[in-house]
Each structure stands twice: as C-alpha cells, then as structure tokens.
C-alpha cells in the first residue's frame, strides 16, 4: 500500500455495509487511527484484521498529530476512521488532513456510508442543492441564533441532533424557519431504522408527545418557499427576534441574516409589532 493518509468510511450500522476496498485498506495500513479504539477494535476483530490502533479525538488530537505526521513523513500508511460513517463529517480529522496537504503528504479517501446523505435520500425532499450544518447548540436561544443564519439558504438543510434535544430543536426550527416540510431519520442502516416525514410543526408535536427517540438522528428541512419579498420566512424570523429585541434591533438583525433590504424589513417589523409605520415610533 502506498504511504500516506487514507480516510476510510466504516459501517453506520450493519457490518455488511463495509466495502471490500475499505477492508483491504485497513488490512494493509501500518496503523489505524480512530475516535474510540473499543468501537473500531470490534470492527477489526469481526474481519480478522490485526493492525495497531491509535486513538485520535477532540481530547488528544493536538498531542497525536505531530506523531502521526512524523510517521507519515517516514513513509507509513495511516488509515483514519470515525466511529461510524465517513471521517471528518462532524468528527475530528480535518486539521490532520490540512497538515498533510501543507507538508505534501498524500491524502486519499475510501468512501462509503454517510448518515446525512442517506437521510437526504430518504427524506423525499429536493436533493439538487443541500447544506450540512452539523450539530446545533444545546440551548434554545443560541440554537435559534444559529438557525437564523441558515434561514435564507435556498437549499435543503441537514442537521445532526440527539434524542433528548430533538423536540426542542424542531420547535426552534418551526419558530425560525416557519412550517417547512421536514424529515427525522434515525438509526440509519440499523435494525430500527426509521424515517418520519411531515412539517416541522407536525414533527415537533409528535416528538413532544411521543418522547425522545433513541439512536443517532439526522433532521432534514426543506428549503424556504419563494414568496414575493420572502414574506413567510421574514415573518418567522421577525416574530422570533421581536420576542427578544426592540423593533429596530430586530429589523436590523433579521435584515442582516436574511440579506433583505433594511427599510422593507423594518416596515414589516413595525406591522408585526402592531405599530404603524406612519408614526415611526418604537
């Protein structure tokens, strides 16, 4: 096997999903770098692969990176895997790739399963343009602020989420995005794989009553519906902002996030706040 860094996709659920090329790469590597040696160790043992394992995660990456670069510079072959799916998708590793690129070390990828892409496929929502936003903040206020950044993006949006936070996140998405079509996909490729489709309002209500689902979750949200002046999405953003800010501040915040004319947004903010634009007061 050629020396260099190889990014290897591992199964999300079923071991049978791993490719023959991925297995060949893991067998031929000098070392396999992984998030959790317990998780990857089970995978390697299942296929009779005996290769040294080295943990590489958010806690030790800064210490491990120089060692790995030294091994790579010395002609070693290093396979980087995540606990499940494609490496670097909300997993540590991009700094190692960047360092390899900067120093001229070869980097390649053995692609495979990716939960966000599977969720997009199964959601039934448009896939011609999409954006992956990773995990949202845990607190509602910070989450809504983060969602506002994505509100005007003309693409299907993909988010990772946890079971305990799902209902709250869906409610915040409803408040910021409006009632867009959406899907919640969990445990992809596993025994209890499930995809629930509906509007954000319907899904938020369902999980509020049904309780937190188990497993790894991807939330897929449809793109904003194009309306004259983008009124639907602006209204949702403004209503949320007006709960926390003055009319003027809310209008300025939403205009910046949505890329809309400030005067138009301010006039609409006055209307939603119940104050006529004729007096210009707040």
**Confidence at residue 232, expressed as pLDDT on a 0 to 100 scale:** 46
202-230: average pLDDT:
86
209-238: average pLDDT:
79
Residue 7: how many other CB atoms lie within 10 Å: 22
Domain boundaries in the chain?
4-110, 115-221, 228-272
Structure tokens at 236: 């949702």
**Confidence at residue 49, expressed as pLDDT on a 0 to 100 scale:** 97
Whether 192 has a pLDDT exceeding 90, the answer reads no
Task: Please give the residue that has the higher pLDDT: either 279 or 206.
Answer: 206
**Confidence at residue 227, expressed as pLDDT on a 0 to 100 scale:** 52
Per CATH, the number for 115-221 is 3.30.950.10
187-192: average pLDDT:
81
- Where is average pLDDT lowest: 108-117, 171-180, 200-209, 259-268? 259-268
Partners of 130 in beta bridges: 156
What confidence category does residue 200 fall into, taking pLDDT thresholds of 50, 70 and 90? very high
Distance CA 150, CA 143 (A): 11
Answer for the pair 58, 92: CB distance below 8 angstroms, yes or no.
yes
What confidence category does residue 275 fall into, taking pLDDT thresholds of 50, 70 and 90? low
Secondary structure (DSSP) of 61-123: HHHHHHHHHHHHHTT-EEEE--SSBSTTSSSS-HHHHHHHHHHT--EEEE----HHHHHHHHH
Q: What architecture does CATH give domain 4-110?
A: 3-Layer(aba) Sandwich (3.40)
- pLDDT more than 70, % of the chain: 93
Distance CA 55, CA 213 (A): 29
Task: Please give the residue that has the higher pLDDT: either 192 or 76.
Answer: 76
Structure tokens at 227: 């309306």
Name which of 172, 272, 268, 189 is nearest 10 in CA terms. 189
Strand-pair category, 217-221 with 4-8? unpaired
**Confidence at residue 280, expressed as pLDDT on a 0 to 100 scale:** 41
149-162: average pLDDT:
94
**Confidence at residue 174, expressed as pLDDT on a 0 to 100 scale:** 92
Whether 239 has a pLDDT exceeding 80, the answer reads yes
- pLDDT more than 90, % of the chain: 64
- Start-to-end Cα distance in the chain: 69
pLDDT in tens, 59-104: 999 999 999 999 999 999 999 999 888 999 888 899 999 999 999 9
pLDDT in tens, 23-51: 999 999 999 999 999 999 999 999 999 99
pLDDT in tens, 106-140: 999 999 888 999 999 999 999 999 999 999 999 99
What confidence category does residue 233 fall into, taking pLDDT thresholds of 50, 70 and 90? low
Model confidence, pTM: 0.76
Mean pLDDT of all residues belonging to the chain: 89
């Amino acid at each position: 096997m050629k020396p260099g860094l190889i990014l290897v996709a591992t199964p999300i659920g079923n071991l049978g999903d791993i490719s023959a090329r991925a297995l060949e790469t893991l067998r031929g590597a000098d070392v396999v770098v992984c998030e959790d040696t317990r998780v990857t160790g089970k995978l390697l043992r299942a296929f009779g692969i005996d290769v040294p394992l080295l943990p590489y995660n958010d806690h030790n990456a800064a210490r491990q990176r120089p060692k790995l670069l030294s091994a790579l510079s010395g002609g070693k072959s290093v396979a980087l895997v995540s606990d499940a799916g494609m490496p670097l998708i909300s997993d540590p590793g991009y700094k190692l790739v960047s360092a390899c690129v900067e120093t001229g070390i070869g980097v390649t990828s053995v692609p495979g399963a990716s939960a966000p892409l599977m969720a997009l496929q199964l959601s039934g929502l448009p896939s011609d343009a999409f954006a992956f936003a990773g995990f949202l903040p845990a607190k509602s206020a910070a989450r809504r602020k983060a969602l506002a950044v994505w509100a005007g993006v003309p693409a299907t949006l993909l988010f990772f989420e946890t079971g305990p936070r799902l209902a709250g996140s869906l409610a915040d998405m409803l408040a910021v995005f409006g009632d867009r079509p959406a899907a919640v996909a969990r445990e992809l490729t596993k025994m209890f794989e499930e995809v629930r489709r509906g509007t954000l309002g319907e899904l938020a209500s369902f999980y509020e009553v049904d309780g937190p689902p188990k497993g790894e979750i991807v939330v897929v949200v449809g793109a904003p519906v194009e309306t004259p002046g983008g009124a639907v999405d602006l209204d949702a953003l403004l209503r949320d902002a007006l709960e926390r800010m003055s009319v003027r501040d809310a209008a300025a915040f939403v205009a910046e996030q949505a890329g809309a004319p400030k005067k138009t947004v301010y006039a609409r903010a006055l209307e939603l706040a119940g104050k006529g634009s004729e007096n210009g007061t707040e």
